[in-house]
Chains A and B, each alone.
Chain A
C-alpha cells in the first residue's frame, strides 16, 4: 500500500487527502504543527469577533478523519531527506513516505523593520496568531490603540476585528488609496470612505519606520516615515504573506519564493509535490500570478493532484479567475480580470457605476477594440459565478453582458435591483440603446 504523507493540514493538503481517499486505498498521513484538526483559516477573524467559537471553524467533525482512515500527526517537520524518502521531525523521530505532498501554506511578511520582533507585534495568519491577539488585545483597557501596517485584505480584516472590541485603530497604507494595486480607483475610493466611516484612522501613503520598545521589550509606539509617533499597545503586521518553506532550504528541492512546481504540481525531485499557497508555478498561468495565496486555488490544486497520484495524471489548469472578499460591511466579488489603473493594459477600458447613496458599485472591464467582456468587479451586489464563468468562456461582448445582467444577479430575494440604473448609465456613456432583459431561468440553466 502506497504511503502518502502530506505536510500541512490546510485547505490544500486536506482536499488532496480527501480526494485521494475517494479514489484509492492508499495510506494517508497529514502532519501539522499548527492545529490538531483542519480548520478554516478565513474564519479566524470571526472567532475573535465573537461570531463563532473555534470549533465552528472546523468543517469536519472530529470522527471524520478516523472514519476515512486519514492519519493525523501533530508534529513539526524539520527536514526533508528525499534520498531516504524520510522526514525528520522536531521530536527527533522520523517518518518515511512513498510520495510527499508539501502544503505548508504561508507566513506573514516581515520586512526587517526595527522592533518587528517585540512583544505586542504580530501578524494574523495562524491559529497561534489568533491566540496571541486574544492575549495582546482582549479589550480597549489592555490595548489602548493598535497600529496595523499594510493595506491588504488581512489588514482590513484585522482592523475590523479590533474595532469589534472598540479598540482604536490606526491603519498605515503604503499606497495613496486602499488596495489600489488591485482595485480600480472608483472602488478603492469607496473603500477608503467606508474605512473612515468605521472610525478607523486611515493613513494613506504612510510607511512604518520603526517600532519603539518600552523597558520590558513590549511595543509602546511606532514611528512613521512622516515622522509621526503613534502610541500603541499592539502592532499588526499585515503586509502580505509569503510561502512557508524555510524548512526546505538545502533539501535539494528547487525553491524560488515558493516551492517550484510544474503544471503537474511536481517539484524537481521525483515523488515530491507542492500545492496551495507554498507552490510556485514556473510561469504564471494566464494572468494569474505564479504564487496564488487564495483559498480556492489551494483547494483546486488538491483536487488536481489527487487525480495525478491516483493514476490519472492531470495538469493544474485553473479556469477563469474569480475571487471575493468582504471589506467591513461591503461584499466584493470579481469574475474575469479587472485590473487597477496601475497594472491594466492599453486595451482595457472600464465602465464604472456607483450608487448615489449606498455603498454599492461595479466596474466592468471591456476590450476597447473588440468590445469583448473581460471581467467585472461588484461591491454590494452579489453575482452568479456560473453565469460569468460561461460568458467568459463564450467570449461574450459587453452589449450581451449588459443586456443580460439580470440573469447574473445573485442578491437575496426582494433586494432592490439596480440593472435599470446601470444600463441607462451605460447607454448614455456609450450612446447605445440597450434594454435589459428579464431574468430567465431557461438561460441560467442552459448548458451551452
Chain B
C-alpha cells in the first residue's frame, strides 16, 4: 500500500511537472491568413501594428510564448505610441498586450503540443489524476478504523507550513498570476483541453475553460480524499457530494452547453454580489439581447439574491450556499481541507475580518449603484468618477487579487477560507441574515465541553468555537459556513449543527448546565 502511494506520488509529480513546464514549451508560427482574420475580428486599424507583426512575427517560428509574446507587446506599444503622438486616436488599440498575445498565440500554435492534444492531456491531467488517486485511495485501508484522522497534521511539512506548504503556495500563486495577468502563457494549456471544450460548447478552449475544467478535476480528486477521511460522518459525505454536483453541473457543464445552444454563458447558482459583474453594462446588454432566456436569467439573478438566498438562509443557515453549493466553498472544502487549521482564531483577526468583509460588500454595492445609474442615465461618469474605472478597480483588487491570488493561493499558509471569511461580499450579506434572522445554530451540549480546542483549531472560518462551547452557549456567528467539522472533531459530542425554533437560539449563559439548579437560575437570569 505504501509503495502504491509512493509510486502514485511520483506519477502525480511527473504530471504536475509537465503541466508546469508546458507554458514555456511548444512551437508557434503565425500564418498570414490567421493574422488577417485576427485583424478583421478585432477591427484593428493600426497600420503600424499590422506592418510590425507582418514583418517580425508572421511566417516565423518561435519556441515558447516567451519568444513570441514580447514581440507582440512591443509592436502594440510602438503602434499606440505613434498613434497617440499623431493624435490618431481611432487607430489606437485598446486590447491589452497580454490578451493580444493570447489571441495570436492561440491561432499560431503548431508542433507537438498543438498536434498531440490527447497525449499531452494524458501527460498532464491524466498522470496527475492517476497519481493523485493512487496516493489517496490506499488511505481507505492505511488510515485504519473509521474515525477522526488528524494524526500528524502538525508534524507534517505539507500541513504545518513547512517547505512543502510553501512550494504549494508558490505554485498556486504563480498559477493565478498567469491566469489573471499573463494569460498568453496559458495558451498551451488551452490546446490540451480543446477537444473537451469543443465537445461541450463547440468552441476551442480559452484559459478560463482550462481553469473551469481543472477546478472540477481537482475538486473531484480531492473529494475522494474527503470521502475516505470522513467516511464515518454522513454529513460530510452528503455535503461533499453536493458541492461537487453543483460545481460540475451548474458551474461547468450547464454554462458551456448554454453557449452551444446560442444562449448567454451563465452559472445559475452564482449569486450577486459574489457574481459582481452581473449588473455590468455588457452583461445586461447581452442578457437583454438574448430573448426569453436572457430575460429569465435577469429575473432569476435578481430573485436569487433578493429572495431565494435569504429565505434559504433563514431556514438552513448560510451553509446551504457556502458549504453545499458555492464553487469557492467547494474548492475550499476539498482542495483546502488539509489546510483548514491555519485560520487565525485571534480576536484581532476577527476585527480585521469584520472591517474587510463589510468593506468589500460596501464597495460592491456602491460600484453596482454607480453601474446601474450609468446604465439607466446612459452616462459613463457619475459625479465626475468614471464608472468603468471603479469596475476595473474592483475586478482587479477584489475579483482577481483577493478572490483568486490570495483566496486560493494562500491556502497552505492562511487556511482555506481566506476569501470566504475576509472578502466575499455575498458571505457578508448572508452573514447578516444568519446572525439576525435564521433558524440555524450550532447547539452546545450542556456542560459536556472539556475546552480541548479541537473545534477551534479545525474551524476554517477562524471562529473560536471553544469560547462558546465551554460557556455552554450556542454558536451563532455570521461567518459560520456550517461545514460541520467542529462537530466532527469534538471528542465529547458537544456540538450539533441544527435548524430549530428561533426562540432560545442565542442563549448567553454564565453558569453551565450540570450545576445546582438554583445557582444556574441566579447567575443566568439577566
Contact = CB atoms under 8 A, between A and B. Distances in A.
A196 to B, nearest CB: 11
B482 to A, nearest CB: 10
Contacts of A303: 511, 515, 519, 523
Contact of A326 (B154, B451, B492): B492
A410 interface: yes
A395 to B, nearest CB: 15
Given A49-B152, A51-B154, A164-B152, A385 B448 contact: yes
A331 B495 CA distance: 13
Interface string B154-171: 111000000000000000
A413 B497 CA distance: 7
B450 A51 contact: no
Interface stretch (B24-32, B139-147, B430-438): B139-147
Interface string A383-398: 1111001000100000
Nearest to A303: B511
Contacts of B445: 382, 384-386, 410
Interface in A58-96: 58-59, 61
Nearest to B518: A317
A42 B448 contact: no
B500 interface: yes
B346 A61 contact: yes
A401 to B, nearest CB: 17
Interface string B323-344: 0000000000000000000000
Nearest to B238: A414
B145 A198 contact: yes
Q: Which of A57, A304, A315, A382 has the largest number of chain B CB atoms within 10 A?
A: A382
A385 B147 contact: no
B491 A317 contact: no
Contacts of A61: 346-347
Contacts of A51: 150-151, 153-154, 454, 457, 489
B233 A412 contact: yes
A125 interface: no
B488 A412 contact: yes
A11 interface: yes
A331 B144 CA distance: 17
B198 interface: no
B112 interface: no
Contact of B150 (A22, A50, A318, A329): A50
Contact of B451 (A22, A40, A318, A412): A40
Contacts of B498: 413
Nearest to A54: B154
A309 to B, nearest CB: 14
B492 A324 contact: yes
A19 B523 CA distance: 11
Interface string B121-150: 000000000000000000000001111101
B44 to A, nearest CB: 58
A52 to B, nearest CB: 5
A410 B515 contact: no
A6 interface: no
B493 interface: yes
Contacts of B504: 445
Contacts of B235: 412-415
A324 B238 contact: no
A328 interface: yes
B514 interface: yes
Q: Which of A51, A197, A316 has the largest number of chain B CB atoms within 10 A?
A: A51
B484 interface: yes
Contacts of B346: 61
Contacts of B523: 303, 307
Interface in A150-190: 164
B476 to A, nearest CB: 15
- How many A residues are at the interface, by size bracket? 35 or more
Given A303-B511, A314-B519, A385-B514, A328 B147 contact: yes
Contacts of A312: 522
Interface string B404-447: 00000000000000000000000000000000000000010111
Contacts of A11: 451
Interface in B213-251: 232-235, 238
Contacts of B347: 61
B397 interface: no
Nearest to B488: A412
A333 interface: yes
B446 to A, nearest CB: 3
A411 B445 CA distance: 11
A355 interface: no
Contacts of A307: 519, 522-523
B497 A40 contact: no
Interface string A25-65: 00000000000000010110010011111001111010000
A415 B501 CA distance: 21
A333 B516 contact: no
Contacts of A314: 516, 519
A204 B466 CA distance: 37
Contacts of A50: 150-156
B374 to A, nearest CB: 46
B487 interface: yes
Interface in A326-379: 326, 328-329, 331, 333
A319 interface: yes
Interface stretch (A246-254, A264-272, A294-302): A294-302
B145 A329 contact: yes
Nearest to B233: A412
A296 B514 CA distance: 8
Contacts of B497: 412-413
Nearest to B487: A412
Contacts of B456: 56
A386 B493 contact: no
Contact of A59 (B467, B491, B503): B467
B513 interface: yes
A326 B493 CA distance: 9
A5 to B, nearest CB: 23
Contacts of A324: 448, 450, 492-493
A164 B500 contact: no
Contact of A318 (B457, B467, B487, B514): B514
B514 A383 contact: no
Contacts of B155: 50
A322 interface: yes
Contacts of B515: 300, 303-304, 317-319
A299 B514 CA distance: 11
B64 interface: no
A315 to B, nearest CB: 8
Given A303-B511, A318-B514, A385-B513, A333 B493 contact: yes
A92 B399 CA distance: 63
Q: Which of B457, B484, B492, B514 has the largest number of chain A CB atoms within 10 A?
A: B514
A127 interface: no
B470 interface: yes
19 contacts: A11-B451, A22-B510, A43-B451, A46-B453, A50-B151, A50-B155, A52-B154, A57-B452, A58-B453, A296-B448, A317-B515, A329-B145, A329-B147, A385-B513, A412-B233, A412-B234, A412-B488, A413-B235, A413-B497
Which 7 pairs across A and B sit closest by C-beta, in order of nearness? A385-B446, A329-B147, A317-B516, A382-B493, A43-B452, A50-B152, A50-B155
Given A198-B144, A441-B501, 8 more contacts: A50-B155, A59-B451, A296-B448, A307-B522, A316-B516, A318-B515, A382-B496, A415-B235
Interface of A: 11, 19, 22, 40, 42-43, 46, 49-53, 56-59, 61, 164, 197-198, 295-296, 299-300, 303-304, 307, 312, 314-320, 322, 324-326, 328-329, 331, 333, 382-386, 389, 393, 410-416, 441, 444-445
Interface of B: 144-148, 150-156, 232-235, 238, 346-347, 443, 445-448, 450-454, 456-457, 466-467, 470, 484, 487-489, 491-493, 496-498, 500-501, 503-504, 510-519, 522-523
